[in-house]
Structure 1
Amino acid sequence: MSLLEKIVRGLPVSPDIQQALTSPDLLRKHALYLRLPHLLAPAYGPVTPQQLEQLSAYGYLYFRFLVEFDQVLDQAGHQPLSAAATGRIFEFCAVYEAAIRGLSALFPEADPFWNHFAQCKREYAGSNRQEKTLAATRPAFTAAMFEELAAGKSAACYAMVHALDSLSGRSQPSTPLLTCLRHVHIGLQCLDDVDDFVQDLHHRQYTFAHYGVISENGINSTLRPGKGT
């Protein structure tokens, strides 16, 4: 049994959430985030296999909490949260707490990792606020705006570089790796915006893909699904 499975089995959450956290389909979908410590490790010095496994498990749990929280924020913008959705996010708080406890065991309170992690979270939060503002105001959407937004929405992932920096004793952030992750996530956001085009439109989100279709075809940007064209 993997470390992730052991942690999930010990969480005070419903069997449905335990299953969701270890679903083979979702683990394959999020394989990048599970494998990221191992993919980056060759660029570093002495980081043990145990530390890499811990980073993988606790980083993934933190990532899944963010995904769930983001979905709740999107739903809350369109309709009141149901009792089930409210209960689910409270259960996911246990996932968040497990992730932080695990990271705290790896990084003492004074470790530089935590300052870098806080900056990543601020960048992530800022991009989420910007995304909600764009959905409400629907301005012209430039490529530069898209890249900034896509990079910021993935900022929590950059913490993995800072984590490996600390564990390997590197005093300066690995800028080339951070730049690489930024470009990877901009590309992934492009794919997501295309794959989720109809779903995002239904939820009244506003993406670079939507703006491209609107501007190229002269469509009224205030239109919503079901109101005609």
Structure 2
Amino acid sequence: MNGDARIERHVGWRGDSALVEEDRRPLRRRVARLLQVDGLPATAGLPSERRIAVGVDPRIFYTYPLLFYTSFPDVSLAQLRALSTSGSYLFDYVLTLDEVLDRPSSCTGGSLLLGAALHREALHGLHTLLPPGSPFWGHFDRYFEHFCQAVLREEARHRGLLQPYPREELELVYSGKSAIAKACLAALAVLGGDERPLAWLEASHDSYYVAFQLADDLTDWRIDYERGHYSYPLTLAFLRAGWQRRVESGDRPPVPEVAELLARQGVVEEIRTLALEYLDRASGTVESMTDGSWPAAIRTTRERISSPAFSLGPPPGQPGTAAAPRGAEAGPVGWRGDPQTPATPVAPSWWPWLDSRRAPSVPRPALLAEQLRTLDTAGPAHTTGEALCQVGLAIAASRRAFPQHGLAEHIGVSAAELDWLDQHGPWLDGLLALGLDEPPEPWHPDRLSTPGTAPGWVPPAVGRYLGHRLVAQCAQERLPGPAPTVDALLRSYRSHSVT
């Protein structure tokens, strides 16, 4: 025990996490104020909070130093809390960099400015604890160099092109992606006045994250394949099957065929064996650390990887169970508006940003009739998210029926508006996050912005575009099977918003 800290093994420290979350509030408010235009956020929020909200990451990342504090008993509770807060900003900073590097086409100034704010806040907190002359900064520079080399090597050698992973490169890249997290180890060692445990904790940390990343690669292989990011499991399967030319061609193998290849080659068992080998190294390095949360975290990851449920991950967007039918009594359908106008869902919170001068264009009569026919079979929508999915499915139906017409016509926007929508994903993500669970409303051409605010600047057909994007994103990855339901589309969106 350290002061009044209460340990809950590797599951987390609820009280300490709550304190760190409270410490983060000023930065959250500052970011919300800085990174917005007319109140519309330029980002979808801090990455860690989005990931925690949907269960991708636990709150343990807010109290990461507590995993190791039993090796440094002379570090005070106040120092642990301050280090946890600064470390949480570093965690968000690395997640923001990941988003910029993984999806450069959707990167905007908002993402870059958010990363800069997080980096500044993390270093400010660390400098308060550890002045510039502290030996901590030599360790920090070493970890940052490892991280940079891992990111750049993966980008240069394993994105777009298929290259083998020698064992040394696998270890450098997979451990290096989490190298900055080792800053808490060096900080604890320096603050506690004992650097003797540092070397073996670093080695354990590196081995653990090779195993952790290998397991995650199996879960995320579809997303990696979509982005041309050839992880170790994908590379292993493709090179063994002689698929290099196919994978690097303009007509890559479809996702279902890749799934069959991975299953046929026994990739799961091979990755499981390799990951467990690295976990053995991670636990063997810290044998003297008989109790504490770091060994417990290693054991938990071992149990996950050893579990029969460990697999290639569920197909994104696939419904787990059939959705209950939505009868006419389920709720209002008023968001569709007048039958003579395109069904354009709007969340109540969107009105201040919509440009009333840009009424959505009415699609050709045949296109609109096909969309309305699809909507007539969909039933009511209780939330804007459900309405967006319904209109997206309707647009997909009209595109299948009339492929000779361009996407802009099916959505009801001009070519310039479609280009603007394509280029401003973060603003649209902000709108989506604000209005996803609000009741949908129909677009009214005469609805004005709130008096006293700047004129709106977002095309009102943004709801139709977002619906199209939700459906198109799922269609790119879905395995053969029944058409996606509204519930499946929303699950796929929530998963992608944090992956």
Report the equivalent of 1:145. 169
Instruction: Tell me the distance in 1 between the aligned counterparts of 2:55 and 2:92.
Output: 11
Report the equivalent of 1:113. 136
The question of whether the paired residues in 2 share the 8 Å contact of 1:204 and 1:224 is answered with no
Once the two structures are superposed, residues 53-80 of structure 1 have per-residue CA deviations (whole angstroms, 9 ceiling, x without a partner) of 111111011111111112212322xx3x
The 1:70–1:155 alpha-carbon spacing in structure 2 relative to 1, beyond 3 Å, is: same
Once the two structures are superposed, residues 97-117 of structure 1 have per-residue CA deviations (whole angstroms, 9 ceiling, x without a partner) of 111111111001100001110
Determine which of 110, 115, 126 is the counterpart of 2:149. Answer: 126
The question of whether the paired residues in 2 share the 8 Å contact of 1:162 and 1:173 is answered with no
Instruction: Tell me the distance in 2 between the aligned counterparts of 1:138 and 1:162.
Output: 36
The question of whether the paired residues in 2 share the 8 Å contact of 1:5 and 1:22 is answered with no
Instruction: Tell me the distance in 2 between the aligned counterparts of 1:3 and 1:21.
Output: 13
Question: Matched residue of 2:131: which SS?
Answer: coil
Which residue identity does 1:36 align to in structure 2? Y
The question of whether the paired residues in 1 share the 8 Å contact of 2:161 and 2:248 is answered with no
What is the number of residues matched between the two proteins?
224
Report the equivalent of 1:73. 101
Instruction: Tell me the distance in 2 between the aligned counterparts of 1:54 and 1:28.
Output: 24
Instruction: Tell me the distance in 1 between the aligned counterparts of 2:194 and 2:175.
Output: 24
**Counterpart check, 1:6 vs 2:23:** yes
Question: Matched residue of 2:31: which SS?
Answer: coil
Which residue identity does 1:35 align to in structure 2? T
Report the equivalent of 2:14. none
Instruction: Tell me the distance in 2 between the aligned counterparts of 1:216 and 1:32.
Output: 38
Determine which of 43, 56, 78 is the counterpart of 1:50. Answer: 78
Equivalent positions of 1:171-182 (< 5 A) are: 171-172=195-196, 174-182=198-206
Report the equivalent of 1:195. 219
The 1:228–1:161 alpha-carbon spacing in structure 2 relative to 1, beyond 3 Å, is: closer
Which residue identity does 1:61 align to in structure 2? Y
Instruction: Tell me the distance in 1 between the aligned counterparts of 2:112 and 2:54.
Output: 18
Determine which of 193, 205, 230 is the counterpart of 1:169. Answer: 193
**Counterpart check, 1:33 vs 2:57:** no
Give unpaired runs (5+ residues) of structure 2: 1-17, 33-40, 254-499
Give unpaired runs (5+ residues) of structure 1: none
Instruction: Tell me the distance in 1 between the aligned counterparts of 2:214 and 2:44.
Output: 29
Instruction: Tell me the distance in 2 between the aligned counterparts of 1:111 and 1:25.
Output: 36
The 1:28–1:72 alpha-carbon spacing in structure 2 relative to 1, beyond 3 Å, is: closer
- RMSD across aligned positions (CA): 2.5
Which residue identity does 1:68 align to in structure 2? T
Deviation at 1:30, TM superposition (A): 4.4
The question of whether the paired residues in 2 share the 8 Å contact of 1:214 and 1:221 is answered with no
Instruction: Tell me the distance in 1 between the aligned counterparts of 2:61 and 2:165.
Output: 29
Greater C-alpha Rg: 2
The 1:215–1:22 alpha-carbon spacing in structure 2 relative to 1, beyond 3 Å, is: closer
Question: Matched residue of 2:203: which SS?
Answer: helix
Instruction: Tell me the distance in 1 between the aligned counterparts of 2:151 and 2:73.
Output: 34
Instruction: Tell me the distance in 1 between the aligned counterparts of 2:221 and 2:233.
Output: 7
Question: Matched residue of 1:13: which SS?
Answer: helix
Bigger proportion of residues as helix: 1
Question: Matched residue of 1:29: which SS?
Answer: coil
The question of whether the paired residues in 1 share the 8 Å contact of 2:139 and 2:186 is answered with yes
Deviation at 1:149, TM superposition (A): 1.1
The question of whether the paired residues in 2 share the 8 Å contact of 1:193 and 1:209 is answered with yes
Instruction: Tell me the distance in 2 between the aligned counterparts of 1:117 and 1:96.
Output: 13
Q: TM-score, normalised by structure 2?
A: 0.42
